[in-house]
């Protein structure tokens, strides 16, 4: 095939170099998705596991000459060559090392293998080309420069409406902005769509449902200029409007009915549906969008009067993934949904380092972190109303009380047992505190405690309390401190002298507790272990006497239980164990730490039974999944490299400087959550209104004026029509932040009413239709497809609100798809097949794929077959006397139009082929 081997080698070299260049280009020009994957998944792995040995600031220099804290170091590699081959995980040494399959190449070193999930993330990252933003040419731009120059950070201005030549086409200012761009390129808009196309477009856009045949007939018969405006108004007034547009917002809000992967707890959110129903109601009532934002972030801090339904809005914050209840990750998710969802800013990229592109320093991330760290989710969630409690409420309340009583009794019993164990082992904790302080390597402290079956944090509490007590004479612990002070080599000789001193209670001016003095009478302790044992017996005896007194009081049914031991000296010993701040006490949230495995499992099982009742019982009343401010707000600290165990400088809770400016003031009211909401929803914020206007435009035209709807940062796509975006944004705010008014303005424009006809010349000049010379053709999304099938079959159930329903199993529900149960951890296959938004994170827009599974579902699904049978059984179809009439009736019901001639012939042939032969 080739003339010589040399020619072949040259050709191979050219091809190989081309592949390398492709890989390098991929790595050097990462996509936004690739950058986000690196920042969220890969950088934390490198920071936590690799930088100690493979970073420029490693104590002994980078091992093996390998630097992993820069992109160039990663691609250059170390003594054994490049660490990765972008696009090829199997040839990448980094992947080989983390898999631990080669005894001679294992990173992290032996017994430190990464979790399978992290290894899978590294493999996926390499396969996507190893996108890595850590390079000099991609470093963060100057905050000042980005703020001064970038379009999205500029105040919203009202631009003049441009003059155009074809003024007859202009129905409102939108058209002027669109037409001006087209005319500048020598292009013209498409003709107006026919009336059938318009009413179907409007019906699907606003309600997600096809128009009824009679609605189409009425519209075709209405010859007035206001005919289409009346259609738009009717659709906006329909309850179906809120159901349709709520689903768009639920994508942004990463709505799901479950928590994702959790361990031994109820996976369902019992009251997720109340957030979904709130969004539907808010949209149907045209709640101003600025108020919509504030309620979702801080409804608990508003004057709501008697109507508490707005509390459900806070599901926006609380319905995210649970990340095995890892608090930093939960807060990170909340920051992400707030900043990307509402303002189009990727603030969470600054969790571990200053944002690489936008003027968002790490300190600003932790300012917002402090807001959410100063809040918690109350276990007793507020009712959203008592006027219409479910019929089965009394039955539910009785069963819930029974389950709660069982949980509380078991938990209180085990808590008391845990406290008794801590107090009976006070001597062991004293000795552990002594030995811990003598450790040269303090990192071994936890291991020492666990080896002795002690709680490490309680050991630390004893150390802290003993340090506090040592600062002045302590009647109980003065001997302890004296024995601790003895040099180890002199303990045996000098302990006799100390024991004699304290057993005689010689220091009259600084007396010690007589009971403590007694334990040192007789033989002196030979080591600190014996001193700890004597103290331990003193405390155990005092606690035992106290427990016996309390039990006796309960048996005698005394009105008042004892408040103290009769002997004041023994009571002083008891107070060491029981007084507020005692190291032998535990807060309510600390017991889980000291419970053994069977106890923890039983507590979780009983708690799960309560939560399961909330999620499934028909009598469970609706409640709001709210946040509440903590009594004391948290002063956040920057986590160095994103590590919660490495706190850095303290920062105030305040808004982002890129929006608020350098003269911003820290939040003052509680957590600052309400002030944050007000800052986001402010007219002075240049991002919020622009972002929602762009989202609305996206769902009408199939693409936003800004093609990156959740990223308005400096690497975002610039708006295709910047003047139009600002005009609509200013108009939107001037008109009360009304989304319904925005729909009217958009849909009554000539730009919206264009046909989707192709034009070869325009398609060559503008293949992506960025200039809007036609209406984009769009496929039905999953919800519209399923709801349309139910609608044309005549079986669509229009019941509003309530608990989510399973739409995937037989017998199939006829409820609208927006009410379908969304399982976050195991999203059903039909959802994935038809490009449903991932509920794991805020979703800016859905992908649109064409895959064989979609056709296979439509041809074989029992649900589809059921709807086809129902359609055939509709009276207007079933009563037809001929195949031709049947085909015509089917087209009228399904497509609201008569069939074309060839469609009639095709349908007749199909029906006749299905008919039984005589």
Beta bridge partners of 384: none
The Cα 697–Cα 205 span in angstroms is 11
Are 382 and 626 in contact by the 8 Å Cβ rule? The answer is: yes
In degrees rounded to 5, what are phi and psi of residue 20? -60, -45
Nearest to 53 by CA among 67, 42, 43, 40: 67
373's CB contacts (< 8 A; 6+ apart) are: 327, 331, 634, 636
For residue 498, give both structure tokens.
């100390």
Question: Running DSSP on this structure, what letter comes out for residue 63?
Answer: G
pLDDT of residue 74: 76
pLDDT of residue 56: 66
Are 86 and 65 in contact by the 8 Å Cβ rule? The answer is: no
The Cα 343–Cα 404 span in angstroms is 42
For residue 780, give both structure tokens.
């039905």
Burial 720-756 (b: 16+ CB within 10 A, else e): bbbbbbbbbbbbbbeeebbbbbbbbbbbbbbbbbbee
Nearest to 818 by CA among 840, 790, 787, 846: 787
Nearest to 201 by CA among 778, 910, 731, 689: 778
Are 705 and 696 in contact by the 8 Å Cβ rule? The answer is: no
Half-sphere exposure of residue 506: CA atoms within 13 angstroms, side-chain side: 10
Length of the chain: 918
pLDDT of residue 791: 97
Nearest to 39 by CA among 348, 422, 419: 348
Nearest to 282 by CA among 254, 305, 248: 248
Are 275 and 319 in contact by the 8 Å Cβ rule? The answer is: yes
Residue 844: C-alpha distances to residues 248, 290, 725 (Å): 9, 19, 18
Residue 487: C-alpha distances to residues 109, 333, 484, 490, 493 (Å): 40, 53, 8, 5, 10
For residue 20, give both structure tokens.
């390398």
Cis peptide before 20 (omega within 30 of 0): no
Print the SS3 string covering 531-546: HHHHHHHHHHHHHHHH
pLDDT of residue 29: 57
In degrees rounded to 5, what are phi and psi of residue 532? -65, -40
In degrees rounded to 5, what are phi and psi of residue 361? -75, 160
Burial 380-406 (b: 16+ CB within 10 A, else e): ebeebeeeebeeebeebeebbeebeee
- Angle at CA of residue 251, ends 839 and 368, nearest 5°: 80
Rg (CA), the chain: 35
Task: Give the end-to-end CA distance of the chain in Å, rounded to a whole number.
Answer: 65
Are 740 and 282 in contact by the 8 Å Cβ rule? The answer is: no
Alpha helix ranges (H) inside 425-490: 426-437, 445-451, 456-469, 478-485
The Cα 47–Cα 641 span in angstroms is 7
pLDDT of residue 387: 64
The Cα 39–Cα 351 span in angstroms is 9
**pLDDT digits over 57-86, tens only?**
666 666 777 877 777 777 777 767 788 888
Alpha helix ranges (H) inside 138-265: 143-149, 173-184, 195-207, 213-221, 227-237, 239-252
Helix, strand or coil, per DSSP, at residue 629: strand
Strands 647-650 and 628-629: unpaired
The Cα 872–Cα 317 span in angstroms is 45
Strands 637-639 and 647-650: antiparallel
Give Dmax (Cα) for the chain: 121
The Cα 45–Cα 37 span in angstroms is 12
The Cα 330–Cα 350 span in angstroms is 16
For residue 564, give both structure tokens.
């103290």
The Cα 808–Cα 830 span in angstroms is 8
The Cα 773–Cα 767 span in angstroms is 10
Beta bridge partners of 629: 375
890's CB contacts (< 8 A; 6+ apart) are: 871, 877, 907
Burial 686-714 (b: 16+ CB within 10 A, else e): bbbbbbbbbbbbbbbbebbbbbbbbbbbb
- pLDDT under 70: residue ranges of the chain: 1-30, 32, 56-62, 79, 110-111, 135-148, 386-387, 506-509, 559, 917-918
Full-model pTM: 0.79
The Cα 723–Cα 163 span in angstroms is 13
Find tokens 């600003």 and name the residue.
364
Strands 375-376 and 647-650: unpaired
155's CB contacts (< 8 A; 6+ apart) are: 684, 686
664's CB contacts (< 8 A; 6+ apart) are: 654, 655, 657
DSSP state letters, 331-394: HHHHHHHHHHHHH---GGGGSSSS-SSSS--HHHHHHHHHHHHTEE--SSPPBS-STT--TTHH
Question: Running DSSP on this structure, what letter comes out for residue 822?
Answer: -
């Amino acid at each position: 095939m080739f003339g010589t081997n040399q020619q072949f080698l040259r050709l191979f070299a050219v091809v190989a170099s081309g592949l390398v260049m492709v890989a390098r280009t991929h790595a050097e020009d990462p996509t936004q998705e690739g950058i986000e994957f690196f920042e969220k998944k890969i950088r934390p792995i490198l920071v936590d596991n690799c930088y100690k040995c493979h970073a420029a600031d490693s104590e002994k220099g980078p091992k093996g000459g390998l630097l992993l804290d820069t992109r160039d170091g990663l691609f250059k590699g170390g003594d054994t060559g490049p660490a990765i081959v972008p696009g090829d995980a199997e040839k990448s040494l980094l992947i080989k090392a983390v898999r631990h399959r080669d005894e001679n190449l294992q990173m992290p070193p032996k017994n430190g293998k990464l979790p399978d999930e992290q290894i899978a993330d590294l493999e996926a990252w390499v396969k996507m080309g190893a996108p890595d933003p850590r390079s000099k040419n991609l470093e963060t731009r100057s905050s000042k420069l980005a703020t001064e120059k970038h379009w999205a950070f500029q105040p919203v201005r009202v631009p003049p409406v441009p003059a155009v030549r074809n003024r007859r086409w202009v129905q409102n200012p939108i058209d002027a902005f669109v037409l001006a761009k087209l005319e500048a390129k020598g292009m013209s808009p498409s003709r107006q769509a026919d009336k059938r196309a318009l009413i179907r477009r409007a019906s699907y856009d606003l309600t997600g449902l096809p128009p009824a045949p009679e609605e189409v007939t009425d519209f075709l018969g209405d010859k007035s200029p206001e005919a289409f405006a009346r259609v738009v108004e009717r659709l906006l007034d329909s309850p179906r409007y809120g159901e349709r547009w709520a689903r768009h917002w639920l994508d942004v809000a990463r709505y799901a009915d479950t928590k994702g992967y959790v361990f031994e707890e109820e996976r369902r959110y019992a009251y997720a549906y109340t957030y979904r129903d709130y969004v539907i109601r808010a949209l149907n009532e045209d709640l101003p969008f600025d108020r919509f934002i504030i309620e979702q972030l801080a409804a608990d801090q508003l004057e709501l009067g008697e109507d508490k339904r707005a509390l459900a809005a806070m599901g926006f914050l609380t319905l995210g993934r649970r990340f095995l209840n890892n608090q930093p990750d939960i807060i990170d998710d909340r920051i992400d949904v707030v900043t990307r969802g509402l303002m189009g800013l990727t603030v969470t990229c600054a969790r571990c380092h200053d944002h690489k592109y936008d003027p968002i320093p790490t300190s600003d991330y932790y300012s917002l972190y402090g807001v959410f760290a100063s809040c918690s989710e109350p276990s007793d969630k507020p009712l959203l109303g008592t006027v219409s409690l479910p019929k089965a409420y009394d039955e539910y309340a009785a069963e819930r009380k029974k389950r709660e009583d069982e949980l509380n009794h078991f938990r209180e019993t085990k808590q008391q047992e845990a406290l008794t164990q801590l107090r009976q082992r006070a001597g062991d904790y004293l000795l552990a505190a002594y030995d811990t302080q003598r450790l040269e390597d303090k990192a071994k402290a936890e291991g020492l405690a666990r080896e002795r079956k002690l709680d490490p944090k309680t050991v630390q509490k004893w150390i802290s309390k003993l340090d506090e007590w040592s600062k002045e004479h302590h009647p109980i612990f003065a001997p302890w401190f004296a024995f601790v002070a003895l040099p180890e080599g002199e303990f045996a000789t000098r302990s006799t002298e100390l024991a004699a001193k304290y057993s005689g209670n010689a220091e009259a001016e600084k007396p010690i507790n007589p009971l403590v003095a007694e334990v040192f009478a007789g033989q002196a302790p030979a080591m600190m272990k014996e001193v700890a044992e004597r103290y331990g017996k003193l405390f155990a005896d005092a606690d035992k006497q106290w427990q016996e007194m309390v039990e006796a009081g309960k048996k005698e049914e005394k009105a008042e239980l004892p408040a103290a031991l009769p002997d004041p000296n023994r009571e002083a010993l008891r107070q060491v164990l029981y007084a507020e701040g005692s190291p032998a006490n535990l807060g309510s949230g600390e017991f889980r730490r000291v419970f053994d495995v069977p106890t923890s499992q039983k507590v979780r099982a009983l708690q799960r039974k309560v939560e399961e009742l909330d999620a499934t019982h028909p009598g469970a009343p609706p409640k709001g999944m709210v946040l509440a401010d903590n009594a004391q707000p948290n002063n956040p600290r920057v986590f160095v490299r994103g590590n919660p165990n490495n706190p850095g400088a303290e920062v105030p809770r305040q808004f982002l400087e890129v929006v608020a400016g350098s003269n911003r003031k820290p939040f003052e009211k509680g957590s600052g959550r309400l002030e944050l909401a007000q800052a986001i929803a402010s007219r002075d914020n240049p991002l919020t209104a622009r972002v929602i206007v762009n989202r609305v435009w996206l769902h009408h035209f199939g693409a936003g004026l800004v093609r990156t709807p959740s990223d308005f940062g400096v690497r975002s796509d610039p708006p295709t029509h910047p003047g139009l975006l600002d005009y609509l944004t200013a108009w939107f705010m001037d008109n009360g932040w009304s989304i319904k008014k925005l729909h009217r303005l958009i849909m009554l424009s000539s730009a919206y009413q264009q046909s989707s006809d192709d034009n070869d010349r325009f398609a060559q000049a503008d293949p992506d239709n960025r200039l809007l010379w036609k209406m984009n053709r769009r496929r039905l999304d999953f919800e519209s497809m399923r709801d349309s099938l139910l609608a044309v079959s005549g079986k669509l159930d229009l019941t509003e609100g309530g608990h989510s329903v399973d739409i995937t199993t037989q017998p199939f529900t006829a409820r609208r798809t927006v009410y379908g149960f969304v399982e976050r951890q195991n999203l059903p296959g039909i959802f994935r097949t038809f490009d449903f938004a991932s509920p794991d994170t805020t979703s800016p827009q859905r992908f649109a794929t064409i895959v064989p599974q979609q056709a296979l579902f439509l041809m074989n699904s029992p649900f589809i077959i059921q709807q086809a049978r129902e359609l055939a059984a509709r009276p207007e179809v079933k009563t037809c006397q001929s195949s031709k009439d049947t085909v015509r009736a089917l087209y009228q019901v399904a497509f609201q139009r008569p069939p074309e001639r060839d469609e009639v012939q095709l349908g007749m042939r199909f029906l006749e082929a299905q008919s039984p032969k005589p």
